[in-house]
Structure 1
Amino acid sequence: MSSINEAARQSEGGDGPVVSASTDGVPAPERFDWWAQMVGAEVMPVAIQSTHATRFRGSVEAVGMPHSQVAAFAFSPMVARRSPAHIRRHDPEEYYVVLVHGSPIRLEQGRGVACLESGDMSLFTTSAPLVCDFLDRGRQTRLTLLRLPRTVLPLAGGRADRLLAEPLSTRTGAGSAALLGSYLAGLPAAARACGPAELARLGVLGVDLAATVLAGRLGAQDALPTETRKAALRSRIKIFIEQNLGDPELLPAAIAAHHHLSVRSLHLLFRHEPETVGAMIRRLRLERCRADLADPALGTRTIAATAARWGFRHPADFSRAFRRAYGFPPSEVRARAWARALDVQQVCARCRRSAGRHGSQ
């Protein structure tokens, strides 16, 4: 991530694991060239053209992790071409998974041509000629790149090359592609709250999810290391749990059955995690209840109804669990929320009265 770090020193900067850079800190006449040099150094050497060159704007947030990097880009429409001459000049021998957020992208590499809409992903490599047309649809191009050195992707013999410039949709619920899309979209924000150990785990998770998606498209799941398959399955289970917290029948047995596992296999899958499956469900439910109780807009909903909404069968059990987790009863959260709302109302009333007095003078 050295070149983005250098760009950050020249423009915006960044603290912690997320480093940001922007053309806003560069004199306007130099912005397009600055962007071209940054992309060439950080991603790979390419030739770029843009009808917006004289008014070009771009920004990037990058998260560096062991063995991988995630970078979120936003920029004016352009076309990027990587030629055999570029490859001979410098080939880092890396794959990139691209997730599209904004205007469509047309990607050409090898025998593949992918027209990617927002929410689509695809794969490209630094080791083959490439054309990326970032289409001008009246809005800025936004995308996220996951960099994967060939040495860390557990698909031997260049098997992933068969998927170059093929669309990979993320619109399939809790499937591996959807999980990878959510991971890429949310990583820069999540990384800001991470320490080094957690960031390293997130980096491993990204590689595992990408490998699982690609192996699934190739029909080569059995070629993946056992731990890679287990990590992807844990991620699917966690998403399933979060999506079904309101179901009081969300128990380990139901979760195991939904994922075609025995209860014992489910517990073994999570044995090295910081908490058990049951503890995770309880923690997430309590967090949702606390957030709802602290929301004045939900003040007419009773505490018992809030508990039931998030899967607690009995209000008394909920109150005991809440007090054990937070050290005070749920009623205290509701009371604090009402007190804060009343304070805001009183401040606003004083401001209105003060404005009225000044207006009458």
Structure 2
Amino acid sequence: MALVLTTASVPDGQRLAYWRDALGRALVPMAVTARHDGPFEGTVSAERLGCLRIATVEADAQRVSRTPAHLTAAAPAAAGDFVAVGLQTAGSATLVQDGRRAFADEGDLVVYDTGRPYSLDFPRRFATRVVHMPRRALGLREEDLRRVTGTVITGTEGFGALLVNFLTSLTASVPPCAPAVAARLGTGVVDLFATLVDARTRDGTEPGANQGDHLLLRVRDHIDRNLADPALCPRTVAAAHHISVRYLHRLFEGEGVTVARLIQQRRLERCARELHRSDATASTVSAIAQHWGFANPAHFSRVFRAAYGHSPREWREGRHELLPTG
């Protein structure tokens, strides 16, 4: 059942304080400043869909900000758990995070990290739908995630258009469904967003890219499609593209990662996502690791801890901390 909070029945002098608390319950604690004089009006509804938190906000002009003080006061497990995607359905917004300033108009997406300070300025009455995704469910490296946080994604082309269309349909009316179906829908949003982030980490996609760039894209795509193959390695990748291993390594010289390291990173990301979604009755940690090409459980545990700061079992057991309590 959706949580609905509105200022409609609140005395005028108490509305802004009530609204601040309402946003804190539906989203995360933040400061709120009204952008006009007179009684403030706002309504927010919040509900869950699998691992997602979805909120619809309609309100008067305002500026909201999440400050270092909010992060310090947050519980450790909740301080940086969510990546937020806001779909601007009416009005405009300016997002500031990590020194970036981005303007969003109707139909655009703003992307930000609730675990770092940010502000959103709405200069006139607006409506937005906000989706909070657990960071661990994304299974992305911090440096890759920071490529899109603090930015605006237009809904006119590429994965941005696909994500906007999907979120528009999904959040317009969150369908009542069985927990298993809700989990699948939530996972679909997470996977689509992770794919968008991955697409933005790859260079050479613009028109005019040279032959080597296109080959590099094909190699990366081949790696992603064959991660579950335990035989996947630089030699098999080179053979599949009819090039030498030496030339394959040359292609990756400017990528900041070796072929073998990329394969390991992508496998770890898949494992992290699957571990987050699974529970004690699902596949074992070793089975998940083996499915994604890690034949040695001890080696998998070492490289996973090195990448994520937790053992695979700790990562799975910590998933309950990422889900809102109501």
The alignment's TM-score, normalised by the length of structure 2, stands at 0.57
Match of 1:44 in 2: 28
Whether 2:59 is the aligned partner of 1:59: answer: no
2:27 alignment partner AA? V
Relative contact order, higher structure (CA 8 A, sep 6+): 2
- What is aligned with 2:321? none
Q: Does 2:59 correspond to 1:75?
A: yes
Give the conservation status (yes or no) of the 8 Å contact 1:77–1:141.
yes
For 1:279, the equivalent position in structure 2 comes to none
Cα deviation code 1:180-209 (max 9, x no counterpart): 112222224442353333222211111111
The answer on whether the counterparts of 2:50 and 2:184 sit within 8 Å (CA) in structure 1 is no
From the superposition, tell whether residues 131 and 190 of structure 1 become closer, same or farther in structure 2 (CA, over 3 Å): closer
For 1:204, what is the secondary structure of its paired residue?
helix
Deviations 1:26-70 (A, max 9, x none): 333322211101212332222111134641111123230222122
Q: Which moved more, 1:38-47 or 1:109-118?
A: 38-47
**Uncovered stretches (5+) of structure 1, i.e. residues with no partner:** 1-15, 228-361
Would the aligned equivalents of 1:62 and 1:188 in 2 still touch at CA under 8 Å? Answer: no
1:96–1:145: 8 Å Cα contact kept in structure 2?
yes
Other structure's SS at 1:163 match:
coil
Structure 1 segment 201-216 matched on structure 2, within 5 A: 201-216=184-199
- Superposed CA RMSD: 2.7
Query: What one-letter code is carried by the residue in structure 1 that aligns with 2:32?
Result: I
The residue number in structure 1 matching 2:253 is none
Partner of residue 107, structure 1: 95
How many aligned residue pairs are there? 207
Deviation at 1:158, TM superposition (A): 4.4
- Return 5+ residue gaps in structure 2 as ranges: 204-216, 227-326
- Equivalent position of 2:131 in the other structure: 146
Report the CA distance shift for 1:53/1:64 in structure 2 as closer, same or farther (over 3 A). Answer: farther
Please state if 1:121 is matched with 2:122.
Answer: no
Deviates more, 1:209-218 or 1:158-167: 158-167
Matches within 5 A, 1:1-361: 16=1, 18-52=2-36, 54-90=38-74, 91-136=79-124, 140-172=125-157, 175-219=158-202
8 Å Cα contact 1:61/1:188 also seen in 2:
no
What amino acid is the match of 1:59? Answer: T
Which deviates more from structure 2 when the two are superposed, residues 160-169 or residues 54-63? 54-63
Q: Is residue 23–residue 44 contact of structure 2 (8 Å, CA) maintained in 1? A: no
Displacement of 1:134 after TM fit?
0.8
Q: Secondary structure at the match of 1:70?
A: strand
> Which whole-Å CA distance do the structure 1 matches of 2:135 and 2:106 have between them?
26
TM-score, normalised relative to structure 1: 0.52
Distance 1:226 1:22 in 2: 47
Alpha-carbon distance between aligned partners in 2 of 1:127 and 1:87, rounded to the nearest angstrom: 7
Paired amino acid for 1:177: G
1:49 partner letter: T
Q: CA deviation at 1:102?
A: 1.3
How far apart in 1 are the matches of 2:224 and 2:122?
36
Q: CA deviation at 1:113?
A: 1.0
Structure number with bigger Rg:
1
Query: Hey, what's the Cα distance between the residues in 2 that align with 1:213 and 1:38?
Result: 31
Change (3 A) 1:19 1:45: closer
